[in-house]
Amino acid sequence: MSALLEVHELRVFYRKVEGLHRASLRMEEGSVVTVIGPNGAGKTTLLGAIMGLLPSSGAVRYAGADLAGVPTEARVARGLCLVPERRELFGELSVEDNLRLGAFQRVRHGERDAMRDLAAIYARFPRLQERRAQLAGTLSGGERQMLALGRALMAKPRLLMLDEPSLGLAPRVVRDIYRIIADLKRAGVSILLVEQNARAALQVADRGYVLETGQITLEGSAAELAANPRVIESYLGLSARVSQTL
Amino acid sequence: MNLDTVLWLVQDGISNGAIYALLALALLLVFAVTRVIFVPQGEFIAYAALSLTMLQAGQLPGTVYVLVGGGLLAAAYEIAAALRARATARLPRVLAFYVLLPVAIALLAWWAAPRKFDLWVQALIVLGLVVPLGPILYRIAYQPLANASVVVLFIVSMAVHYALTGLGLLFFGGEGLRSAAFSDAQFKLGVVNVTAQSVLVVLASVLVMLALWLFFTRSLYGKALRATAVNRTGARLVGIPAELSGSLSFLLAAFIGAVSGVLVAPIATIYYDTGFLIGLKGFVGAILGGMASYPLAAVGALAVGLLESFSSFWASAFKETIVFTAIIPVLVWRSLTSHHVEDEEE
């Protein structure tokens, strides 16, 4: 079976500095893959390059097609969606308008009943329904993350990429988010999850990659990585200590 | 100065202010979506007004050459881009918009010009001639530079402005023209004579603003434009193409410019370069409104209209000076009270 996403020797330069050095990864349809690594390792850069937001060299193949030269909005139309770390919501628009705009590509390509999915999104995030008329800029951190997720789901993603979905959120909200990720996985959505919270990420993922200073240094099944002494020391140990101090 | 004069000046100020308000909205829209300070906005006014007057005289307006020529140039850009990206599927639609549509409108104008139709029909033809110029200009001058800085885009705007003014001189000549009024009716409201033309101007402006408001709050494409204005990265991530929002905002700007031109044609003598000054006053209105809020910009533009009409009564030689000087205290006050608007996030 060919992979849904295949990244081959991807390189990204910020002026002269290499943000990503020949990173390669692949993921199967319906799987959850996580990329863990410290701050500044190039995780966000990797997602930005896959999404076409950053110029890169190397190859990104998605659903059997080379994405070279395909602009971001066309990638969205093919079911590739990113929930960025900064959420990038439309702060001066209402919650509901943010969600509606999530389906922009579908409406543009003639899907007339795309807005029916609003009901499903509200069923998943009752909080968003309560706040549907409120401006997105006035939401709390957890609500913003839910709105960003909901907006991405309105695009009916085939591959959903999440950048630090738990960053800066209260533990209860983090649990909610991970429960939703597990739900989506059961519904057959492929998920590429970038996290500093390695413990949570490896629990939900099938496979994982470790990205350090722009390079993939380790890869394997989630169970293998969770048992790897270096991962335990660098990522799980640290997060265990941090969660104790919290 | 008696009450009659005051009311007459107010009427004059409001009908001019209504047009400035429309232009202020167009400038704000284009700036918010594309970061372009759209200096050539005024050219749409001059082109529309002069085309209308020429149609009334039974002549073919030179706008057709600008339209067809610009459309061909835009189509050449598209073909080159499509060949480079090896994506030719979009080409038929693109060619229909940039080549077939302009040619069809030009032929219609050529057929209609000597027949001297009713003023309303001519106004519609003028809209058809001027509105497509918006997306065409965007495609030629701005889309290839969409990621450039605000200053570069501003310099491009100046170049486009000079190019269009030059073409205007070539096709319309240096003479000032004034169109017939839509209606010569007058009626008395209390002590003041209200002309039907000025009522029409205000009414049309309000209608256009209402239509824009509905577009921005009800339709998905209007919301997509607002989304692009507030968060460019977010807009790309939900799949709103930057070219689409750019093109759409220029289309609206051209529409607003064309409507303003048709409205202003009977109340002022328009030269090939008059548009710039009118557009500039819309810009002053937008600045008075803080370059951010649409209602404030409309109020600012109305104030510009009133200020202009009263200063032309008291000190007509200093009319423009007074209007443009009004920006200075506002800018000083704004720079003291509001925080700096960032140029660009990245």
Residue B170's CB is within 10 A of a number of other CB atoms, namely 12
Chosen CATH of B3-337 out of 1.10.287, 1.20.1530, 1.10.700, 1.10.3470: 1.10.3470
Q: Which of A44, A93, A135, A149 to mutate to test the interface with B (most CBs of B within 10 A)?
A: A93
Name which of A77, A88, A108 is nearest B231 (Cβ-Cβ). A88
A44 close to B (CB below 8 A): no
What are the tens digits of pLDDT across the range A91-148?
A: 999 999 999 999 999 999 988 888 889 999 999 999 999 999 999 999 998 899 999 9
Amino acid B339: pLDDT? 61
Mind telling me how many Å the CA of B135 is from chain A's nearest CA? 19
Specify the DSSP class assigned to residue B182. S
Chain A contact set for B345 (CB, 8 A): none
Residue B65's CB is within 10 A of a number of other CB atoms, namely 14
Asked if B240 and A93 come within 8 Å (Cβ–Cβ), the reply is no
The DSSP-derived string for B280-317 is HHHHHHHHHTTTT-HHHHHHHHHHHHHHHHHHHHH-GG
Rounded CA gap, B221 and B324, in Å? 35
Asked if A88 and B227 come within 8 Å (Cβ–Cβ), the reply is no
Asked if B223 and A73 come within 8 Å (Cβ–Cβ), the reply is no
A80 → chain B, closest CA residue: B237
Under 8 Å CB pairs connecting chains A and B tally to 66
CATH 3.40.50.300 for domain A1-24+32-79+157-246, yes or no, is yes
A155 close to B (CB below 8 A): yes
Reported as a pLDDT band with limits 50, 70 and 90, residue A246 is very low
Chain B contact set for A77 (CB, 8 A): 239
A157 → chain B, closest CA residue: B238
Q: Judged by CB atoms within 8 Å, which residues 120-139 of B form the interface with A?
A: none
What is the reported pTM?
0.89
What are the tens digits of pLDDT across the range B1-20?
A: 788 888 888 988 999 999 99
Asked if B237 and A82 come within 8 Å (Cβ–Cβ), the reply is yes
Mind telling me how many Å the CA of A69 is from chain B's nearest CA? 7
Asked if A104 and B233 come within 8 Å (Cβ–Cβ), the reply is no
What are the tens digits of pLDDT across the range B37-51?
A: 999 999 999 999 999
Mind telling me how many Å the CA of B233 is from chain A's nearest CA? 7
pLDDT at B343 over 50: no
Asked if B236 and A89 come within 8 Å (Cβ–Cβ), the reply is no
Chain A contact set for B231 (CB, 8 A): 88-91
What are the tens digits of pLDDT across the range B130-179?
A: 999 999 999 999 999 988 999 999 999 999 999 999 999 999 988 888 88
Amino acid A234: pLDDT? 82
What are the tens digits of pLDDT across the range B93-118?
A: 889 999 999 999 999 999 998 888 88
Rounded CA gap, B302 and B272, in Å? 25
Chain A contact set for B85 (CB, 8 A): 69
Instruction: From B304, B256, B320, select the one nearest B43 (Cα to Cα).
Output: B256
Q: Which of A51, A72, A86, A94 to mutate to test the interface with B (most CBs of B within 10 A)?
A: A72
A48 close to B (CB below 8 A): no
Tell me which amino acid residue A19 is: G
pLDDT at B338 over 70: no
- Residue A3: helix, strand or coil by DSSP? coil
Q: Maximum distance among all alpha carbons in chain A? A: 52
| Residue A99, H or E segment | helix A95-102
Mind telling me how many Å the CA of A138 is from chain B's nearest CA? 14
B243 → chain A, closest CA residue: A73
Tell me which amino acid residue B280 is: L
Whether A80 contacts A51, CB under 8 Å: yes
- Exposed e or buried b for every residue in B245-257, given b needs 16+ CB within 10 A? bbbbbbbbbbbbb
Domain edges within chain B? 3-337
Rounded CA gap, B65 and B54, in Å? 14
- State the complex-level ipTM: 0.89
* Span A146-155, average pLDDT: 95
A97 close to B (CB below 8 A): yes
Mind telling me how many Å the CA of A243 is from chain B's nearest CA? 32
Lowest mean pLDDT among A11-20, A73-82, B111-120, B225-234: A11-20
Domain edges within chain A? 1-24+32-79+157-246, 88-154
Rounded CA gap, B178 and B270, in Å? 6
- Residue A5: helix, strand or coil by DSSP? strand
Amino acid B345: pLDDT? 43
Q: How far is CA A56 from CA A73, A174, B236, in A?
A: 17, 32, 17
Name which of B224, B230, B236 is nearest A72 (Cβ-Cβ). B236
Give the β-pairing of A17-27 and A159-163.
unpaired
Average pLDDT, chain A: 89
pLDDT at B249 over 80: yes
Reported as a pLDDT band with limits 50, 70 and 90, residue A1 is low
Tell me which amino acid residue B34 is: T
